[in-house]
Structure 1
Amino acid sequence: MKKSLAMLLAGAMVVASLTACGSGKKETTAETTSDTTAESAESKTVSDGETYKIGVLQLTEHAALDAANEGFVAALDDSGISYEIDQQNAQNDQSACQTIAEKLVNDGDDLILAIATPAAQAVAGVTTEIPIVGTAITDFADSGLVESNDAPGENVTGSSDLTPIKAQISLLQKVLPEAKKVGVLYCSAESNSEIQLQMTKEACTAAGLDVEEFSVASSNEIQSVVESAVGKVDCLYTFTDNTIAAGMNTVTMVANENNLPVICGEQGMVEAGGLCTYSIDYYELGYIAGEMAVKILKGEAEPATMPIEYYPEEKCEFVGNEETAKLLGIDISGLE
């Protein structure tokens, strides 16, 4: 009887051991961040393969940057990779950019997307190891992010939103043939705006147009600065400046009330009340950045040897605001 009892106990132990081995499957979940600067954190997983951790630092909220973000995520989804993404927005606050950049690096992300120049500069200043893909950045090299746009050299690469400034100034002359003096509206705190300002001056000089600068240091100055331009210039031109783009409703509120046309740098600015532009597609720009990120994550390429990619100028499309044109009494038909 003792022998039989011992055999029964041994059998029970074997069954228990097998049951324990069968319950060892792990499930991967994503936690939503509680950081006050976080917008969201979500997980995209598949049944097999590695799950990558991706951090996103977006400078601020406006149509162009939001579209670039959406395009980036769409490229990740289309690639079929498994990933966990942490979306963070600095609300156009440089100190928040720095704080978020440090957080993403400390989290040990596999790759970080930086949307807009100040965001990329903040992240690049914190890590030289984690791959950084930037987008909505005019000139990576002039902004000190890479050694050269053709050969970045370190851990940063991405897609540029360099706009067709010459084409936009040419459009300005087509729409406003009587214009002689152009007011250029921009934020002096953005390095990419300084780059575009010089390009604008050159384009206007070549077109025989005089330029007067109207700069703001922050969004709080937009209304008063635009008001100061009324009566001094024939129109306003603003390129892809993030501060101005985020405050475009204020720009057009003042400008349109005073019959001052605004030629813009991209589609979102036109939709916010600007007159017209030849615009790049920021969704596609973000998608390009997403494709670059996938190659880096899969080990198919390294940022150091990935040239900066540009949105083809020939794909830029005319965008006009018919409501604004009607309000200003300007004909923009036939410009498509």
Structure 2
Amino acid sequence: MHKVTKLLASAALLVTSILTPLAAAEVEAEETLKVGILQYVEHESLNQTYEGFLAELEANGYVEGENLDVNYLNASADNANLQSMSETLTNSSDYLFAIATPAAQNLANIEKEKPIYFSAVTDAVGAKLVESNEAPGGNMTGTIDAGPIEEQVNLLINIVPEADRVGLIYNSGETNSLSEAEKAKAVFAEKGIEVVESTVTSTNDISQIVGALAKEDIDAIFTVTDNTIASAMTLVGDLAIEAGLPLIGGSTDMTRENGLATYGLDYYELGRQTARMLLRQIEEDLSPSEMPVETAENLELVVNEDVAEQLGIDPSSIQAP
């Protein structure tokens, strides 16, 4: 009898040890993940970042309307909106996600404790979001979209081998763009190619500035990853096509919209990568301060065949640098 009692007790203990983790997992799954998302402006690259972020959360069991509460705000490139939106999101969320540098900077100014993840940021150190990419040191980390500038310049040279004068367009008011433009100018100088620089401050400048640049004695136009240029890419591309100039550089989404070609990152995948960082924090009980800033895991060549044909270029002749 004693042996039977002991066996039954052992069996009960075993069942309890099996059920306890399951019960804990069940409770954890029922907890609602509250995420506040601040996007700086509406354009394809940033939209893709947002969609990729949510897709990765859903793939890991967090479904909006069930156990995922998303508060999403878009500043529409109006800097005056950013502070009030940041305050709204920090008051209603446990985790924060900033899409683009201005959004990240404003959330950083408002919230010093809750975890903040960023994406579509080019220079996190230069924007004073983290102390270093390797050791962020605060409550922020995320993914950066710094483009492979040297490879993009080599792609331009492959497409236009006779190029000796190239137009460079970007928004001089964007920290990201300034950083990327400086890199591009240095690489072009190394290649012995003169750069004709044209900067904008808003989408209202695009038509005049790009139109004037296209009339310069240049062989191609190069653009970096830039929110202002990206949000007006249809117009920028049309002006380049009208002038018969290949437009190269920027993000893959910018190229798909109306550029000729680029070698760069996919913002949808970058959004998913950022979501995986947040999930890793939750699963491993980490702090953003100990999670290094990540670069894009994958780069790809994108060629806009329609634009190539309009420029009289064989799309199949364009190869990765």
- Global fold match (TM > 0.5): yes
In the alignment, the residues of structure 1 paired with residue 288 and residue 299 of structure 2 have an alpha-carbon distance, to the nearest angstrom, of: 27
1:76 aligns with 2:48: no
In the alignment, the residues of structure 2 paired with residue 96 and residue 234 of structure 1 have an alpha-carbon distance, to the nearest angstrom, of: 40
**Displacement after TM superposition at 1:176 (Å):** 0.6
**CA deviation map 1:20-79 (0-9, x unaligned):** xxxxxxxxxxxxxxxxxxxxxxxxx99953212100001111111111111111121122
1:52 and 1:297 in contact (8 A); partners too: no
Amino acid at match of 1:84: D
In the alignment, the residues of structure 2 paired with residue 331 and residue 97 of structure 1 have an alpha-carbon distance, to the nearest angstrom, of: 44
Partner of 1:173: 157
Q: Between Structure 1 and Structure 2, how many residues are aligned?
A: 289
Partner of 1:209: 193
In structure 1, runs of 5+ residues without a counterpart are: 1-44
Partner of 2:10: none
Partner of 2:20: none
1:316 aligns with 2:313: no
Partner of 2:127: 143
RMSD: 1.6
2:81 corresponds, among 89, 93, 96, to 96
In the alignment, the residues of structure 2 paired with residue 202 and residue 47 of structure 1 have an alpha-carbon distance, to the nearest angstrom, of: 51
2:309 and 2:315 in contact (8 A); partners too: no
Amino acid at match of 1:60: V
2:34 corresponds, among 29, 32, 53, to 53
In the alignment, the residues of structure 2 paired with residue 222 and residue 119 of structure 1 have an alpha-carbon distance, to the nearest angstrom, of: 23
**Displacement after TM superposition at 1:317 (Å):** 1.3
Partner of 1:122: 106
Partner of 1:331: 314
Amino acid at match of 2:41: T
Amino acid at match of 1:139: D
SS at match of 1:130: coil
In the alignment, the residues of structure 2 paired with residue 296 and residue 126 of structure 1 have an alpha-carbon distance, to the nearest angstrom, of: 21
In the alignment, the residues of structure 2 paired with residue 48 and residue 93 of structure 1 have an alpha-carbon distance, to the nearest angstrom, of: 37
**Displacement after TM superposition at 1:316 (Å):** 1.4
Partner of 2:270: 285
Partner of 2:70: 85
**Displacement after TM superposition at 1:268 (Å):** 1.4
Amino acid at match of 2:177: S
Partner of 1:200: 184
Cα distance change, pair 127–325 in 1 and its aligned pair in 2 (3 A)? same
Amino acid at match of 1:328: L
Amino acid at match of 1:65: L
2:253 and 2:266 in contact (8 A); partners too: no
1:184 aligns with 2:168: yes
1:111 and 1:297 in contact (8 A); partners too: no
Tell me the TM-score normalized by structure 2: 0.86
1:214 and 1:225 in contact (8 A); partners too: yes
Tell me the TM-score normalized by structure 1: 0.83
Report the structure number with the largest CA radius of gyration.
1
SS at match of 1:272: helix
Task: Give the number of the structure whose residues are more often helix, by fraction.
Answer: 2
Partner of 1:245: 230
Percent of residue pairs identical:
40
Partner of 1:273: 258
**Displacement after TM superposition at 1:306 (Å):** 0.5
SS at match of 2:268: helix
Partner of 1:67: 48
In the alignment, the residues of structure 2 paired with residue 84 and residue 297 of structure 1 have an alpha-carbon distance, to the nearest angstrom, of: 16
1:175 and 1:332 in contact (8 A); partners too: no
What are the residue-to-residue correspondences of 1:254-269 with 2, within 5 Å? 254-269=239-254
In the alignment, the residues of structure 2 paired with residue 291 and residue 318 of structure 1 have an alpha-carbon distance, to the nearest angstrom, of: 24
**CA deviation map 1:70-114 (0-9, x unaligned):** 11111211222432111111111111122211111122x111000
In the alignment, the residues of structure 2 paired with residue 211 and residue 317 of structure 1 have an alpha-carbon distance, to the nearest angstrom, of: 25
In the alignment, the residues of structure 2 paired with residue 143 and residue 95 of structure 1 have an alpha-carbon distance, to the nearest angstrom, of: 19
SS at match of 1:212: strand
2:224 and 2:250 in contact (8 A); partners too: yes
**Displacement after TM superposition at 1:331 (Å):** 2.7
2:96 corresponds, among 86, 105, 112, to 112
Amino acid at match of 2:247: V
In the alignment, the residues of structure 2 paired with residue 243 and residue 86 of structure 1 have an alpha-carbon distance, to the nearest angstrom, of: 24
In the alignment, the residues of structure 1 paired with residue 71 and residue 221 of structure 2 have an alpha-carbon distance, to the nearest angstrom, of: 38
**Displacement after TM superposition at 1:147 (Å):** 0.7
In structure 2, runs of 5+ residues without a counterpart are: 1-25
In the alignment, the residues of structure 1 paired with residue 313 and residue 27 of structure 2 have an alpha-carbon distance, to the nearest angstrom, of: 53
